[in-house]
């Protein structure tokens, strides 16, 4: 029995995704990785949601939609990828916060749908393998 097998038996798909995306406040840099994982990319190119241009990971910043200085968290709902240039001009500006939060929620919903699909496919393949044995 593989890791995935025992893992997925104990939890339903939704729990797996929630657990995976759980916030890790202790590891302060982890949110960067988490944000990229939860942002659609085109073969490693990420689109800045502010200027619409595409950049490589290294040229993207993680923006806290609600700034940390105003109590924003490291949760993925509060994170978005924007380019370094836009991030510099945004700073603690909250004029687009509501709009950003709404957009981010939608984006995550789509992302979770993809992840669920992936889990289901993985499970299907595994069940097929089992039947072969
Ligand atoms: Zn930008």
Largest CA distance in the chain: 59
Domain that holds residue 42: 3-132
The pLDDT tens digits of the residues spanning 36-67 come to 988 989 999 999 999 999 999 999 999 999 99
| Distance of CA 111 from the midpoint of ligand 1 (Å) | 21
| Distance of CA 106 from the midpoint of ligand 1 (Å) | 20
**How many domains is the chain built from?**
1
| Distance of CA 104 from the midpoint of ligand 1 (Å) | 16
Q: Residue 59: its pLDDT value, please?
A: 95
Task: Specify the pTM.
Answer: 0.75
| Distance of CA 116 from the midpoint of ligand 1 (Å) | 30
The pLDDT tens digits of the residues spanning 71-99 come to 998 889 999 999 999 999 987 788 999 99
| Distance of CA 82 from the midpoint of ligand 1 (Å) | 5
Q: Which of 105, 94, 99, 20 is nearest to 64 (CA)?
A: 94
- The whole-angstrom separation of Cα 86 and Cα 66 is 15
Q: Which of 123, 121, 131, 116 is nearest to 5 (CA)?
A: 123
- The whole-angstrom separation of Cα 7 and Cα 16 is 8
- The whole-angstrom separation of Cα 3 and Cα 116 is 18
| Distance of CA 96 from the midpoint of ligand 1 (Å) | 14
pLDDT higher at 63 or 4: 63
């Amino acid at each position: 029995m593989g890791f995935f097998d025992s893992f997925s038996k104990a939890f339903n798909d939704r729990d797996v995704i929630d657990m995976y995306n759980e916030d890790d406040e202790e590891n302060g840099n982890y949110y960067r990785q988490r944000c990229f994982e939860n942002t659609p990319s085109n073969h490693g190119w990420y689109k800045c949601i502010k200027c619409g241009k595409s950049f490589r990971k290294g040229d993207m910043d993680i923006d806290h939609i609600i700034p940390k200085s105003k109590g924003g968290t490291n949760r993925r709902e509060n994170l978005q990828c924007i380019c370094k240039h836009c991030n510099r001009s945004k700073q603690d500006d909250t004029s687009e916060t509501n709009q950003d939060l709404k957009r981010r929620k939608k984006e995550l919903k789509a992302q979770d749908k993809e992840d669920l699909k992936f889990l289901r496919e993985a499970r299907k393949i595994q069940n097929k393998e089992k039947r072969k044995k």
